[in-house]
């Protein structure tokens, strides 16, 4: 058994020329920049520290690397050939103490290792002959962090960050015998918590420390002037605390000092960039707690590793001062109203008085004129085309005038040339938008009474023409004009100011009829208009001012062509739109405002890339990402602010995508798809409140790596997801498979999702399933005590009024679904308040209704199973008292189905005693699996909190009067297989069973059943680097 | 989250407040006693890593019961309890408090001095490290804490005495059992029912202290770390397996279960925590955050660097005083330049208006304040 793929904490990361070395679990992963793919690609991996996780990687001379973690170190060679990266392991050594830091040093011309241990002593370690020399510090205490600076034994300085909130600086003092305890030279006091890291930068002579107290502290090393010397004398130097910064909202793990910046990372997922004087330059969000960081040699790229297994690349940022443009102050009417960039960096400013100012690249005013020079043309709306080649103005009298980027000379910016002016509307034009479709340049104008006119600009040699293509009508509403529009797969989709979305049939033929919408979606983002429409991964996406992205796709239904899919919460309140990078990766960037900041968010990494404190949502602003620069402009106090960031959208930021940010509680394999069934689709839920659909692609070549893809992650749970259960729906359409997913967890919340996966069995093996092949509908959310917004009533707020019911957790979900009742799904839920609850879900009406709520004993139910034995429905419950109970639900299930067919929603009483009880464990049953042996005999495996693994063979009997009973035939158990809780158990083919526990052991046992006796023995065992295993699933490999 | 939500989630937390315990962990020691009878005949006890003091509370109560019982039958000496912790702890009646480091020999001598140079009958340790979230590191630090506790115990425990300590049941747990078995013939791993099912925490109960012949306790030689560790040895047949015992019978409430607030027909009453934590490491960070929240709104002025206005709360050490800094943080101003949403024409009669949108900086700071504040699991807040 070996680990094929993992996603766990990335605790170490190191840049080495064009390579990025990543330590995840015990395995070293090597990524290399590929010019061809314009991204970093995984080239090789090596299991360096089996049994321990990699905590650090240190590069030495001659392609040598030392990889360390816990009490192990591994020395390996890394050989970068053009066609391959070769990793050669030299040795893996077990040491006697926890390793805090390692450095390569030269001792008598030989490269050796200086190792700092958690008990605050140093070891000079010879990797060739394994000899070592320990040097102790006089202070004996536990270290959480520390570093070693220096290149030889003489100039070696140790920075120890202690559990007692101090930083100790000490070195090997030649005046002492090597076996004596070395004195502490400096004791830096100030932190209020455990020190997690201390770093010293010899160029800036700065020490940066990070701590549990959430602060970052800078300490300056000051040479003693009287003892002038080139080398710093640590004995006589003075160290002063220069700055303490509180920005991180949780523990600060690490800091890195590089040239003129310091970058800190923490548990709060923030990466903060500081100047050496301690000013915050940028604060970005990784999406998951960040464990590791490194900066490339050229200081341009930062790499971070997260708790979710993700590895991202960032661009270093520095402080940017905005450029401010003020319009000439002698003109009192020159309040800027609209601003926008054109494609050649021309900046357009359109004022309230109808004046247009054209600025060039250097922000010098080149031209100033009024498009409304003629009478009866009062232009007041400006819109730039998506290509940024054209700019259109609309007037109160129904006129439209269009200008384009000056074509005379491409290098001269700051000019526009007139294309056409025409009256297209009888009334005032209320709004004007550009439409992108089939290479034509079209606009949509909205007039009085909701009249929409689509017209195309046709330029033939030197003659420009406007052709009216089609007319539509917006239904009446409070504010009857457009806020955004798009053409999506033969549909024209419009959003009005009142927040409604209208869907019209669209065809290319010119048609003069005024068409009505065929589908209306009300207030999709609340009562404020949709801010933008975008197409992402073949799905339609709307953005709004409710902080949500909403997704849609085409439905087969003619009357409702647009199907609303899931929604996604953004860390942005007012989401204005999206921009895709122009490289091959089409990285999606979301723009918007959150309180006083403008935010650019990378949707694929789910991280905030940039924040600009601009003061809040602006009437007019623009943002372009071109080449290596991102520009953001906005109007404030009648002035135009221009920010230019050295941020390229074309640098693909993902080296490796991550999995759940916090604990993964449940995981279920649902399907194998692809030509060779090589793509394994699974669903998982976790403490981060998200449901994930992922794919593991098995590789067929010996040497290559199984690949992990994230197909989608869906939020909507208010608390962690503890359990999921799925059913596959009957196929109505050969091109897609549909699944119903039931997820439950904290706050007694149940959610029902419909997952649709496109059938890709015919496609070549070289193509993998991608997120565009998956769609997810968030179809139902149910909370036991009602949704939050209905729960707290003002009149309940009186003194001493508490909601008495417990906030129960849903611990396990099981589905009873049979072809006899294809419309109804029975959902059994095991709850932490000791209740077993049974819901009925109607697929057609999308109604869910509680039918049974029963408690047998005051113990939390951890696991549950539905055993359909002959015509009987038997519920097995496993609780924290270690008892397995059998309940006969046959009659209740029949009654519920009968009720459902006549529409009776009453609660069904169930208070039957269990017909059998097996006392299997001293405490909680954490895992189980059940297997049908023959006729009425079953094999059950249970694993408990008490380290005990049980194998029980039992028989179910139905007596003549239809009563059920269960009898244990044989039982086998072991308490010595695992030394901690057993959290996963699965039966495997060939009479084998797999178990996994918190002791990180995965064990395969083989069992046999002979002469009525069950017994088992250990076959194989392997360690997993997952420290807090929550469960296990098995699926057959196709290789 | 209301203030009752933790009461609903955690029955032992609620019960601890009702019964006046400083932390829910008091029940763990009580439940261990019902199963393992650790207090039988004990009159001198040491509580290592005692803060916030709930185990000392249990010791005080149980040892006094022992004393009263002993008085009925004849002469008895009053109980003596010494509680040791690095941090200061609120005083407790009948408990001698010692602020000290358990890895230091002086601490051992001080404890013995309090017992008039005799040794203790029972040593308990409920110490846990500041959890980092890195499981392997947390488990290592916990094992070091246990070994440090064992080390000082070898100085202060009388032969035949009992040692109870917290242990994390994880990867290398068998290794720790092996260490304990050198000193105690009877080692059990116990889990009180008040400890959650999902938690890796358990307690070792070690009875009949019998150090190896010729063993001389000294602090300079922590046992574990300087001994070569052969993992294979520990996974093979030589692996030490210790019995696992669950403490607390079915009459005890279930720590994994959610209970209604009105329990057993009694009307629920909210109780304030008995003892709030003393100086958590992030106290300063929290108070700074609150100051920022107090300042209601801010202006953005591009004349100043943005980091100076709000995003950063930096303390210029030695330069400005704290009071000055707080004053700066409270400067308020209104902002009137962000405008209302959409660039949409309105009818002639409605003049475009600049709506004032007050932007508060406080909310910005709240962005990433996660549940860290609630991280101190065992201490009642």
Render B174-225 in DSSP notation, one character per residue.
HHHHHHHHHH-SEEEEEEETTS-TT--EEEEEEES--PPTT----TT--TTT
N-terminal to C-terminal alpha carbon distance within chain B = 14
**Structure-token pair, residue A945:** 């909190």
Residues of A in contact with B227 (CB under 8 A): 96
pLDDT at site A331:
58
Give dist(CA B211, CA B216) in Å, integer: 9
pLDDT at site A329:
60
pLDDT at site A252:
95
Report helix angle B25-36 to B11-19, nearest 10: 90
A9 touching chain B per CB within 8 A: yes
Mean pLDDT of A955-959: 93
Contact present, A588 and A600 (Cβ < 8 Å): no
Give me chain A's average pLDDT, please.
89
Please report the residues numbered 633 through 652 in chain A whose beta carbons come closer than 8 angstroms to any beta carbon of chain B: 636-637, 641
> Which residues of B are documented as binding site?
53, 55, 85, 101, 126
Please report the residues numbered 738 through 767 in chain A whose beta carbons come closer than 8 angstroms to any beta carbon of chain B: none
pLDDT at site B227:
46
pLDDT at site A67:
96
pLDDT at site B224:
42
Chain B nearest-CA distance from A545, in A, is: 9
Mean pLDDT of A457-480: 88
- Check whether A1012 has a pLDDT greater than 60: yes
Q: How many CB pairs under 8 A join A and B?
A: 309
Contact present, A393 and A371 (Cβ < 8 Å): yes
Contact present, B101 and B107 (Cβ < 8 Å): yes
Instruction: Kindly name the residue from B44, B166, B191, B207 that is annotated as catalytic.
Output: B166
Output phi, psi for A599, to 5 deg.
-125, 135
- Check whether B288 has a pLDDT greater than 90: no
pLDDT at site A10:
95
Chain B nearest-CA distance from A430, in A, is: 6
For testing contact with chain B, the best of A998, A1002, A1020, A1023 (most B CBs within 10 A) = A998
B295 touching chain A per CB within 8 A: no
- Check whether B10 has a pLDDT greater than 90: no
Residues of A in contact with B256 (CB under 8 A): 832, 860, 862, 880, 924
Token pair 């029975």 is at which residue?
A: A826
Give dist(CA A940, CA A950) in Å, integer: 8
Give percent of chain B above pLDDT 90.
Answer: 17
Mean pLDDT of B218-222: 56
Cβ contact B342–A497 (<8 Å): yes
A132 touching chain B per CB within 8 A: no
**Cβ neighbours of residue A343 closer than 8 Å, sequence gap 6 or more:** A387, A388, A389, A405
Please report the residues numbered 236 through 255 in chain B whose beta carbons come closer than 8 angstroms to any beta carbon of chain A: 239, 241, 244-246, 250, 253-254
pLDDT at site A508:
65
- Check whether B363 has a pLDDT greater than 60: no
pLDDT at site B329:
38
Q: For the ranges A553-562, A662-671, A893-902, which has the lowest average pLDDT?
A: A553-562
The count of residues in chain A is: 1039
pLDDT at site B240:
65
Residue A134: which of B233, B226, B6, B232 has the closest Cα? B226
For testing contact with chain A, the best of B129, B141, B289, B343 (most A CBs within 10 A) = B343
> Which of A26-30, A370-374, B170-174, B306-310 tops mean pLDDT?
A26-30
pLDDT at site B91:
87
CATH of B5-247, one of 3.40.50.150, 2.30.42.10, 3.10.350.10, 3.40.50.1370: 3.40.50.150
> Which residues of B are documented as binding site for S-adenosyl-L-methionine?
53, 55, 85, 101, 126
CATH 3.40.50.150 range(s) for chain B read: 5-247
Whole-number Cα distances in Å, A527 to A479, A500, A793, A944: 11, 8, 24, 52
Cβ contact B169–A981 (<8 Å): yes
- In this structure, the strands spanning A721-728 and A992-997 are unpaired
pLDDT tens digits, A589-618: 999 999 888 999 999 888 888 888 888 777
pLDDT tens digits, B132-163: 778 889 899 898 889 888 988 988 999 999 99
- Check whether B220 has a pLDDT greater than 70: no
Q: For the ranges A658-667, B90-99, B178-187, B344-353, which has the lowest average pLDDT?
A: B344-353
Name the pLDDT band for A942 (thresholds 50, 70, 90): very high
B340 touching chain A per CB within 8 A: yes
Render A839-852 in DSSP notation, one character per residue.
EEEETTTTEEEEEE
- Check whether B298 has a pLDDT greater than 50: no
Of the candidates A529, A594, A976, the beta carbon closest to that of B342 is on A529
B171 CB-contact burial (10 Å; exposed 0-12 / middle 13-18 / buried 19+): buried
For testing contact with chain A, the best of B171, B177, B259, B374 (most A CBs within 10 A) = B171
Contact present, A187 and A134 (Cβ < 8 Å): no
pLDDT tens digits, B221-256: 444 444 444 444 444 444 566 777 777 776 778 888
pLDDT at site A707:
85
- In this structure, the strands spanning A916-919 and A883-888 are antiparallel
**Structure-token pair, residue A916:** 């059998």
User: CA angle B229-B235-B239, nearest 5°?
Assistant: 90
**Structure-token pair, residue B100:** 């000290």
Output phi, psi for A956, to 5 deg.
-105, 130
The distance of Cα A451 from the centroid of its chain, to the nearest Å, equals: 42
**Residue B351 falls in the annotated catalytic set:** no
User: CA angle A453-A457-A458, nearest 5°?
Assistant: 135
Delimit the domains of chain A by residue range: 9-94, 575-656, 659-787, 927-1039
Residue in chain A closest to B175 (alpha carbons) equals A979
- Check whether A140 has a pLDDT greater than 60: yes
- Check whether B293 has a pLDDT greater than 70: no
Mean pLDDT of A652-671: 92
Give dist(CA A364, CA A342) in Å, integer: 15
- Omega of the bond prior to A406 within 30 degrees of 0, cis? no
Residue in chain A closest to B313 (alpha carbons) equals A246
Cβ contact B136–A53 (<8 Å): yes
Q: For the ranges A260-269, A375-384, A710-719, B342-351, which has the lowest average pLDDT?
A: B342-351
Over the Cα atoms of chain A, what is R_g? 33
For testing contact with chain B, the best of A123, A212, A980 (most B CBs within 10 A) = A980
B353 touching chain A per CB within 8 A: no
ipTM: 0.88
**Structure-token pair, residue A637:** 């106090």
Chain B nearest-CA distance from A906, in A, is: 24
Token pair 């033969």 is at which residue?
A: A490
A809 touching chain B per CB within 8 A: yes
pLDDT tens digits, B105-134: 788 888 888 888 889 999 999 988 777 778
Chain A nearest-CA distance from B119, in A, is: 26
pLDDT at site A229:
64
pLDDT at site B217:
74
Residues of A in contact with B136 (CB under 8 A): 52-53, 69-70, 1027
**Cβ neighbours of residue A109 closer than 8 Å, sequence gap 6 or more:** none
Render B238-282 in DSSP notation, one character per residue.
T-----EEEES-TTSPPTTS---SS-TTPPP-----SSPPS--TT
Contact present, A714 and A753 (Cβ < 8 Å): yes
Name the pLDDT band for B317 (thresholds 50, 70, 90): low
Cβ contact A322–B337 (<8 Å): no
Over the Cα atoms of chain B, what is R_g? 27
Residues of B in contact with A51 (CB under 8 A): 171, 231
């Amino acid at each position: 058994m070996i680990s094929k793929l993992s996603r766990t904490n990335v605790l170490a990361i190191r840049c080495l020329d064009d390579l990025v070395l990543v330590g995840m679990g015990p395995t070293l992963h090597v990524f290399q920049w590929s010019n061809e793919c314009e991204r970093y690609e995984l080239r090789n991996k090596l299991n360096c520290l089996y049994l321990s996780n990699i905590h650090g990687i240190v590069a030495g001379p001659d392609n040598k690397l030392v990889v360390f973690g816990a009490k192990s170190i591994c020395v390996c060679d890394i050989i970068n050939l053009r066609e391959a990266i070769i990793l050669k392991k030299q040795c893996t050594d077990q040491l006697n103490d926890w390793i805090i830091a390692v450095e390569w040093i030269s001792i008598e011309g030989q490269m050796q290792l200086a190792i700092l241990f958690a008990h605050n002593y140093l070891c000079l370690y010879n990797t060739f002959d394994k000899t070592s020399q320990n040097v102790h510090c006089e202070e004996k205490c536990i270290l959480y962090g520390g570093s070693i600076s220096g290149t030889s034994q003489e100039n070696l300085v140790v920075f120890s960050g202690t559990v007692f909130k101090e930083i100790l600086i000490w070195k090997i003092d030649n005046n002492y015998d090597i076996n004596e305890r070395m004195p502490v030279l400096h004791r830096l006091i100030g932190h209020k918590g455990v020190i997690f890291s201390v770093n010293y930068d010899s160029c800036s002579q700065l020490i940066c420390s990070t701590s549990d107290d959430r602060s970052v502290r800078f300490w300056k090393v000051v040479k003693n002037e009287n003892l002038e010397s080139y080398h710093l004398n640590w004995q006589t130097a003075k160290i002063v605390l220069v700055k303490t910064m509180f920005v991180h909202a949780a523990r600060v793990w690490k800091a890195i000092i590089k040239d003129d910046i310091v970058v800190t990372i923490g548990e709060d997922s923030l990466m903060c960039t500081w100047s050496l004087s301690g000013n915050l330059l940028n604060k970005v969000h990784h999406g998951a707690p960040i464990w590791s960081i490194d900066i490339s040699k050229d200081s341009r790229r930062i790499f971070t590793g997260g708790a979710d297994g993700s590895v991202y690349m960032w661009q270093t940022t520095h402080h940017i001062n905005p450029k401010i443009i003020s319009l000439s102050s002698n003109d009192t009417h020159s309040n800027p109203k609209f601003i926008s960039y054109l494609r050649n960096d021309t900046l357009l400013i359109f004022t309230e008085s109808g004046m247009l100012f054209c600025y060039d690249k250097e922000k010098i005013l080149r031209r100033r004129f009024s498009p409304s020079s003629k009478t009866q043309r009062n232009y007041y709306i400006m819109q730039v085309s998506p290509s940024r080649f054209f700019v259109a103005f609309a007037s109160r009298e129904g006129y439209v005038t269009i200008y384009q980027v000056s074509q005379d000379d491409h290098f001269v910016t700051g000019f526009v040339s007139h294309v056409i002016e025409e009256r297209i509307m009888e009334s005032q034009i209320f709004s004007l938008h550009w439409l992108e479709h089939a290479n034509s340049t079209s606009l949509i104008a909205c007039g009085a009474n909701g009249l929409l006119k689509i017209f195309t600009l046709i330029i033939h040699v030197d003659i420009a023409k406007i052709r009216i293509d089609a007319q539509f009508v917006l239904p009446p509403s409070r504010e009857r004009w457009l806020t955004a529009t798009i053409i999506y797969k033969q549909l024209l989709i419009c959003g009005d100011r009142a927040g409604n979305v209208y869907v019209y049939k669209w065809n290319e033929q010119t048609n003069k009829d005024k068409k009505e919408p065929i589908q209306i979606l009300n207030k999709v983002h609340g009562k404020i208009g949709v801010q933008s429409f975008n197409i992402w991964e073949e799905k339609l996406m709307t953005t709004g001012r409710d902080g949500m992205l909403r997704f849609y796709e085409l439905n087969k239904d003619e009357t409702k062509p647009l199907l609303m899919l899931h929604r996604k919460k953004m860390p942005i309140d007012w989401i204005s739109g999206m921009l895709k990078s122009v490289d091959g990766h089409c990285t999606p960037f979301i723009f918007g405002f959150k309180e006083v900041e403008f935010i650019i968010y990378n949707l694929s990494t789910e991280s905030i890339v940039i924040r600009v404190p601009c003061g809040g949502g602006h009437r007019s602003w623009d943002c372009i990402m071109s080449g290596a620069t991102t520009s953001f402009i906005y109007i404030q106090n009648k002035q135009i602010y221009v920010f230019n960031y050295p941020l390229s959208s074309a640098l693909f930021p993902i080296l490796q995508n991550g999995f759940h940010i916090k604990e993964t509680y449940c995981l279920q394999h649902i399907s194998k798809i692809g030509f060779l069934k090589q793509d394994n689709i699974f669903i998982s839920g976790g403490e981060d409140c998200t449901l994930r659909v992922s794919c593991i692609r098995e590789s067929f070549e010996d040497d290559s790596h199984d690949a992990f893809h994230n197909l989608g992650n869906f939020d909507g749970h208010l608390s962690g997801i503890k359990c999921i259960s799925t059913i596959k729906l009957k196929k109505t359409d050969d091109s897609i498979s549909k699944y119903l997913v039931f997820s439950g967890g904290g706050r007694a919340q149940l959610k029902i999702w419909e997952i649709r996966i496109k059938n890709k069995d015919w496609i070549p093996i070289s193509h993998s399933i991608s997120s565009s092949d998956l769609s997810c509908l968030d179809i139902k959310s149910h909370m036991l005590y009602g949704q939050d917004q209905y729960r707290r009533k003002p009149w309940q707020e009186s003194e001493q009024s508490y909601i008495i019911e417990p906030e129960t957790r849903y611990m396990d979900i099981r589905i009873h679904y049979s072809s006899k009742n294809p419309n109804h799904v029975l959902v059994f839920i095991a709850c932490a308040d000791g209740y077993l609850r049974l819901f009925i879900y109607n697929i057609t009406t999308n109604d869910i209704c509680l039918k049974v709520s029963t408690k047998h004993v005051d113990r939390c139910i951890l696991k549950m199973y539905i055993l359909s034995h002959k015509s009987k429905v038997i519920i097995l419950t496993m609780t924290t008292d270690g008892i397995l109970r059998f309940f006969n639900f046959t009659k209740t299930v029949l009654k519920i189905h009968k009720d459902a067919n006549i529409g009776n929603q009453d609660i069904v009483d169930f208070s039957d005693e269990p017909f059998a009880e097996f006392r299997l464990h001293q405490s909680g049953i954490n895992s189980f699996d059940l297997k049908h042996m023959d006729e009425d005999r079953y094999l059950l495996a249970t694993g408990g909190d008490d380290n005990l693994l049980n194998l029980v063979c039992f028989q179910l009997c139905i007596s003549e009067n239809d009563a059920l009973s269960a009898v244990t035939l044989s039982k086998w158990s072991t308490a010595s297989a695992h030394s901690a809780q057993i959290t996963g158990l699965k039966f495997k083919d060939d009479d084998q069973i797999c178990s996994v526990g918190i002791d990180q052991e995965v064990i395969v046992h083989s069992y046999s059943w002979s002469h009525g006796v069950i017994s088992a023995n250990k076959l194989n065992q392997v360690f997993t680097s997952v420290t807090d295993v929550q469960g296990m699933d098995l699926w057959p490999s196709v290789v | 989250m209301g203030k009752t939500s933790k009461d609903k989630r955690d029955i032992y937390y609620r019960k601890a407040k009702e019964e006046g315990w400083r932390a829910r962990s008091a029940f763990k020691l009580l439940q261990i006693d019902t199963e393992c009878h650790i207090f039988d005949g004990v009159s001198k006890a040491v509580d290592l890593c005692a803060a916030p003091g709930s185990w000392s509370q249990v010791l005080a109560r149980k040892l006094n019961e022992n004393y009263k019982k002993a008085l009925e039958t004849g002469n008895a000496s009053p109980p003596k309890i010494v509680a040791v912790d690095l941090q200061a702890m609120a005083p407790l009646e009948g408990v001698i408090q010692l602020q000290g480091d358990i890895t230091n020999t002086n601490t051992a001598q001080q404890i013995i001095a309090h017992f008039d140079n005799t040794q203790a009958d029972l040593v308990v340790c409920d110490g846990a490290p500041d959890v980092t979230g890195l499981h392997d590191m947390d488990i290592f630090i916990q094992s070091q804490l246990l070994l440090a506790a064992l080390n000082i115990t070898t100085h202060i425990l009388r032969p035949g005495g009992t040692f109870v300590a917290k242990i994390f049941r994880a990867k290398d747990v068998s290794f720790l059992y092996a260490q304990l078995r050198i000193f105690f013939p009877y080692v059990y791993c116990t889990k009180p029912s008040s400890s959650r099912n999902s938690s890796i925490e358990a307690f070792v109960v070690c009875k009949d202290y019998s150090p190896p012949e010729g063993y001389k306790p000294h602090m300079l030689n922590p046992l574990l770390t300087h001994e070569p560790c052969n993992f294979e040895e520990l996974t093979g047949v030589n692996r030490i397996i210790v019995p696992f015992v669950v403490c607390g019978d079915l009459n005890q409430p279930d720590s994994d279960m959610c209970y209604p607030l009105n329990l057993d027909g009694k009307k629920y009453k909210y109780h304030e925590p008995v003892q709030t934590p003393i100086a958590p490491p992030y106290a300063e960070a929290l108070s700074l955050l609150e100051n920022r929240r107090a300042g209601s709104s801010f202006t953005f002025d591009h004349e100043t660097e943005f980091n100076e206005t709000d995003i950063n709360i930096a303390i210029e050490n030695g330069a400005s005083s704290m009071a000055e800094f707080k004053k700066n943080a409270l400067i308020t101003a209104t902002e009137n330049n962000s405008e209302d949403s959409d660039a949409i024409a309105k009818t002639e009669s409605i003049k475009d208006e600049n709506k004032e949108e007050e932007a508060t900086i406080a909310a910005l700071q709240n962005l990433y304040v996660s549940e860290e504040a609630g991280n101190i699991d065992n201490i009642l807040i």
